[in-house]
Amino acid sequence: MGVGISSIGVAERSVATDVRRALRGGLSLTVGTCLLVASAQSSAQAKDGLEEVIVTGIRQSLESAQQIKQEAEQIVDSVTAQDIGALPDRSVSEALQRIPGITLQRTNENRDPARLASEGGGVFIRGLSWVRSETNGRDVFSANNGRGLSFEDVSADLLSGINVYKNPSADMIEGGIGGTVDLRTRMPFDSSQQIIAVSADYNYADLLEDGFFSGNALFSDSWDTGIGRIGALFSYSIGNIGNRTDSIQTGRYEAQQIGGQERYIPNSIGWRRIDWEQERTAANVALQWQPNDETVISFQALQAEAEPTDIEYAMGDYNPPSFDPARSVYNDQGVLIGGVVPSAHVMTDSRYTEQHKKTSDYSVNVKYTPNDNWAMSADLQYVKSTADILSMTAYTGANNTTGTIDFDLSGDTPYMQWNDPLQSEKANYWWAAAMDHLEDNEADEVAVRADVEYTFDDNPFLKSFRVGVRATDKDATTRQTGWNWGLLSQQFWGPNPANDPNIVLITEPGFGSNTNPGLLDATQLVNFNNFFRGDVNMPGVGWLPTKALVGHGNQNAYNLLRNTQSSFWGWTPLSDQSYSTARPGGDNVTGGVNDQGETTQAAYAVIRFGQDDSFVGRFDGNFGVRVVKTESTAAGLAMTVTPLQGGDPAGCAASTLPGKDCAAFNAAYAFANGGATLPPVDESNTYTDVLPTLNLRFFLTDDVQLRFAAGKAIYRPSFSQMVPYTSLSFTFTDNYVPNSQGWATATGGNPQLEPTKSTQFDTSLEWYFAPGGSVTGALFYKEIKDYIFIGNEEEEYTSGGETISFLTSRNMNGSEGKVKGFEIAYQQFYDMLPGWLGGFGLLANYTFVDSSGGKNTAVNILESPQVIGAADQELPLEGMSENSYNVALMYEKYGISARLAYNWREEYLLTTSAANIQRPVWMEDYGQLDASVFYSLTKSIKVGVQGTNLMNSRTYLDVGGSDLHPRYSWTDTDRRIAFAVRASF
């Protein structure tokens, strides 16, 4: 590492300081990696005397990935699957987390930490979520955001490997500051032989106590015909998976003065169970035709579908609870960690969610190489993604004023118990409320590309010159409702059900002529049995809505629940017509119909150079520049005005309130009544980015390489941040006294946002001492500007004959920051050891990331807690762990291919404001142990077992600011065991 550090510039010297600081902290993995270099050296020296090593399985995958890294002109890390359908992990995101610098977020939505993902969700590269996703070097995205890909939706079985590019080059598609993840599928010309491969597995989830079958098949062959060589590949995969999560959670902690001391009390307390299942299918067709030696024409069609569903059963006191002061226990920070809720108001709900997500990708590529000097290619791609989502929740309430909740949250294993003799009595419950939510999202893109490369024959310095152009046209439409919550017959604040004729008990078929016998069977007694595998006692039972009620559409639920609605209130389900009347709001920033468009035109030039003999020795590299023009359009609702509460101008004139301002009130009244909704508008924005890149590689020896890279990168704003919508409101205290903090305010999206930009430097030192053995270290430094943050500006609007200046909050570009750190990695098989010991190998890597400056971005600027959280400069950047590492013990010999892998990441800020909790949430340190063992019955057939989360790692979440964020959530999920068979002929 000394060479790498001494070669960097002043801008990166602070990274070296961080290296020393991390080493002084006693990072045993770093020290251990350095110690292993000695054995690596001896392996390299002794390899000529070894018996022949048969390269298969894990070893072959490592060698292939190392070869990609070693030969690349950029800093690249790879995961490969030499066996068909055999990535080292069961999902793309889980496989990616093994790469140095990559961490995995274990929630699909960081703002919804109550619902953890079984396979993991977002992928971060070097602490940044600004990651670009590709398939075979082409654009790919999900309809839920129109930018990146939801990697959990992609079948790992169809991939031949994954390349992660950590620094850009000018010929790569722009759009990833963190890096680019390229998913590679197989092509028929990859092999000159016929391939028929099948695999199947049975995946058992121990907490869910259920198993799921998955399988895939592939056929690939090529033929020499009278019209040239023709190849065809067909593959299909179906992956079924399921899991269960058990959780005990409080809400946010509020400060209270109790007994003359400041105490922190949770505003809710409860428990939940979620059963999740997903069917994921994928099909791939690849055709290739080589009519002559100069031309290859390729066609690919890839279609991936994912249909996850989940049913959630939740119970708790969300009043907020009233804790008994005499029996409350606090820790040293004054946080309530144990006690009793003497009169618990336990509410129950069952929530069902189903999603239908589909991505189709079609492409045609033509490569023409007329001679040794010229190479040309043209590419046409069409990609379309859709996502339909339905969420349906029904609530029941219990007459449980005599019940208590005892709890102890002081340790890693929580205790919670609802003590009520009537909790299992069906007649003690009534229908309380219902809520639904709908989404219908789609996005598509057409992309064309053309490249020309000229290779120099005898130039001692120049190798080749390459130029290209690319144009895209993307459209994304989101149709989303808010969360449609409505009362049924009563909530807990109402009178005793036995004395209220406007309440429908769950033992009754409904009101009067609206009775429905089917309503009587619409609840079930939910036992939270085997809770946390028995480590936690059963907290309580309750009569909750059935899956049959909430799981067959919101209209079906309404057909039953409408019989519970009294004349005082009611719930009406959403429909497709609800999209047009929905508005962006605090529960959904993209509520309503939001149309976004984007076109890009890019051109690049790259020159490759190098010399085998120069005054600095052998070196090569490339220098290039990419220029891209982006034009975005946004169509939607222009703005809405919140109706003014508190009377009319006559009331203001007649009042005697001190400090009243009738002039301001009258203006606001006229404005608000002059047009509550202005017509929809179309907005556009155009910007051009110039992105130079430089990649240098020095061959210090045949086995040691020193790399240096510099360049600029961008990451475009999400479509949800560019919603063309503004919400205007007025605030008067006591009806007619203007709010001193601003009586005319507004919030909204910003179609004029531009990309976040990065100037970045990377250097790496890489020692490849064996085909599958290496020690590598990398330093990185990114200067980032134009972070998207919340800013305020005065904006004038006219309505009702009044022009008023509103203090308007929008996402804006402007903040700056730095991200820096280092990675080290080591891998080797110990072939020098005698006998069976020679099959052992070790893979280890460690990453340190540090950041300064920069700002978090509110996902929804219309929700004030998110605005407050995103503006908090004391909070670190979301998703960024300072320390993370992987260690994997491998074995490959005598037909056995085994791996024991442990992945760990340090605490990080999950979100600046979680849904419902409306406070920052932190993910505590998390480590997970996975393993696999396969045995080759023949050269063509393997059988094996894969295990995930073998140590039953518990997930802990904390809530609060940077100074105080006590633990509030404990979650267990499944160990998963898969029994697999693979065959290839």
pLDDT tens-digit profile of 764-784?
999 999 999 999 999 999 999
Cα separation of 328 and 342, whole Å? 11
C-alpha 444, offset from chain centre: 21
Q: What is the pLDDT of residue 22?
A: 42
pLDDT tens, residue by residue, 512-568: 777 888 899 999 999 999 999 999 999 999 999 999 999 999 999 999 998 888 766
Per-residue confidence (pLDDT) for residue 815, from 0 to 100:
85
- Contacts of residue 533, defined as CB under 8 A and 6 or more positions apart, other chains included, come to 206, 207, 952, 972
Distance CA(539)–CA(404), nearest Å, equals 11
pLDDT for res 458: 87
Evaluate if residue 932 carries a pLDDT over 90. Answer: yes
Tokens 């428990």 identify what position? 271
Q: Are strands 726-730 and 639-641 parallel, antiparallel or unpaired?
A: parallel
Please tell me the distance from the alpha carbon of residue 207 to that of residue 972, in angstroms, as a whole number: 9
Query: Could you tell me if 85 and 61 are in contact, meaning their C-beta atoms sit under 8 angstroms apart?
Result: no
What pLDDT shows up at residue 83?
62
pLDDT band at 934 (very low <50, low <70, confident <90, very high): very high
**Contact (Cβ atoms closer than 8 angstroms) between residue 344 and residue 420:** yes
- CB within 8 A of 918, min separation 6: which ones? 252, 863, 865, 866
Asked whether residue 658 carries a pLDDT value surpassing 80, the answer given is yes
Q: What is the pLDDT of residue 97?
A: 87
pLDDT, position 40: 39
pLDDT on residue 16: 40
Question: With bands split at pLDDT 50, 70 and 90, how would you rate the model's confidence at 8?
Answer: very low
Separation between Cα atoms, residue 794 and residue 227, nearest integer Å: 69
Q: How big is the CA angle at 128 (ends 123 and 130), to the nearest 5 degrees?
A: 80
Residue 20 scores a pLDDT above 70: no
Model confidence at 55, in pLDDT bands (50, 70, 90)? low
pLDDT at res. 860: 75
pLDDT score at 398: 85
Q: What is the mean pLDDT of residues 360-387?
A: 96
* Confidence bin at 86 (pLDDT 50/70/90): low
Residue 914 near residue 921 (C-beta atoms within 8 A) = yes
Confidence grade of residue 858 (pLDDT, cut at 50, 70, 90): confident
Amino acid occupying residue 825: A
CA of 447: how far to CAs of 142, 452, 469, 501, 969, in Å?
16, 17, 11, 63, 45
Q: Which range is least confidently modeled, 105-109, 498-502, 651-655?
A: 498-502
Q: Which of 600, 868, 861, 579 is nearest to 720 (CA)?
A: 861
Residue 707 confidence (pLDDT) above 80: yes
β-strand pairing of 896-905 with 883-893 = antiparallel
Instruction: List the end-to-end C-alpha distance of the chain, in Å, as a whole number.
Output: 45
pLDDT of 736 higher than 70: yes
Q: Counting Cβ atoms within 10 Å, is residue 449 exposed (0-12), middle (13-18) or buried (19+)?
A: buried
- Predicted confidence (pLDDT) at residue 27 exceeds the cutoff of 50: no
- Residue 108 CA: distances (Å) to CA of 123, 265, 770: 10, 29, 39
DSSP character for 128? B
Of residues 868 and 63, the one with the higher pLDDT is 63
pLDDT digit string, tens, across residues 89-143:
777 888 888 899 999 887 767 778 777 766 666 789 998 989 999 999 999 888 8
- pLDDT tens digit string along 328-369? 999 999 999 999 999 888 899 999 999 999 999 999 999 999
564-600 confidence digits (pLDDT tens): 887 667 899 999 999 988 888 877 878 888 899 999 9
pLDDT in tens, 815-845: 899 999 999 999 999 999 999 999 999 999 9
Gyration radius from the chain CA atoms: 30
Phi, psi of 885 (to 5 degrees): -155, 165
pLDDT average, residue stretch 663-676: 83
What is the per-residue pLDDT across 404-446, written as a single tens digit (0 to 9) for each? Answer: 999 999 999 999 999 998 899 998 899 999 999 999 999 999 9
> Which residue type is seen at 774?
S
DSSP state string for 837-857: GGGEEEEEEEEEEEEEE----
Instruction: Specify the DSSP class assigned to residue 925.
Output: P
User: Both tokens of residue 147?
Assistant: 């930018």
Residue-level pLDDT at 354 = 96
Q: Where are the domains of the chain?
A: 253-274+288-441+471-582
Q: Give 260: exposed, middle or buried? Use CB within 10 Å, 0-12, 13-18, 19+.
A: exposed
List, for residues 196-249, the tens digit of each pLDDT value: 999 999 999 999 999 999 999 999 999 999 999 999 999 999 999 999 999 999
Instruction: Pick the more confident residue, 163 or 862.
Output: 163
The strand order across the sheet containing 179-185 reads: 76-80, 159-165, 179-185, 131-135, 138-139
Identify whether the C-beta of residue 926 lies closer than 8 Å to the C-beta of residue 885. Answer: no
Q: What angle do CA 206, 211, 213 make, to 5 degrees?
A: 145
How high does pLDDT run on average in the chain?
Answer: 87
Secondary structure in 3-state letters for 21-67: HHHHCCCHHHHHHHHHHHHHHHHHHHHHHCCCCCCCHHHHHHHHHHH
How far is Cα 77 from Cα 68, in angstroms, rounded to an integer? 8
Taking only the tens place, the pLDDT of each residue in 780-812 is: 999 999 999 888 889 888 888 888 999 988 889
Residues 691 and 168: beta-carbon distance below 8 Å? yes
Most confident of 258-262, 332-336, 614-618: 332-336
